[in-house]
Amino acid sequence: MLAKLKQWHGDDGGAAADVPRTVLISGSGGKAFCAGGDIVDCYRAKMGTADASITKEFFAREYLLDYQLHKMDPRYIAIWNGITMGGGVGLTWHAPIRIATDNTMYAMPETAIGFFCDVGGSYFLSHLKNDPSLGLYLGMTGHRLKGQDLL
């Protein structure tokens, strides 16, 4: 995904190529946009039971991808049909059009394991419905929201 975004922006050393007018992103299965497995790998790397470079590479790629999506032109549409948490929120939050369904479960659960709310969460949570206290609550607690709560 990152390579394609770089190609569309011309960041790969060449000219921007075949840029679509709109991009639709949706997850697959019930865990639409949900990370978690990568965090386990990072934990193992920190504990010395996996390659230590995993952590540095994971966060570098994740944040670069989130940034590329933030500055993406064409516009993109994200469909939150299922669990959308953590890194999955980072992949989709910058879409100017985000569609929640009856199946949506949204949260930033990192704080429950002692991790900070990343992927731009400090920015977008503080801008929810012009009420910073709502974002602060979600960021501090990892409280889960259903699709109807996201309207």
Which residue out of 66, 88, 110, 121 is catalytically annotated? 110
What's the DSSP call for residue 86? Answer: T
Catalytic residue check, 57: no
Q: Which of 7, 5, 1, 22 is nearest to 97 (CA)?
A: 22
- Give how far Cα 84 sits from Cα of 12, 16, 81, 116, 147, Å: 30, 30, 8, 17, 10
Residue with tokens 């100017």: 96
Of 87, 88, 90, 135, the active-site residue reads 87
Catalytic residue among 36, 38, 118, 142: 118
Q: Catalytic residue at 48?
A: no
Any catalytic annotation for residue 110?
Answer: yes
Residues noted as catalytic: 37, 87, 110, 118
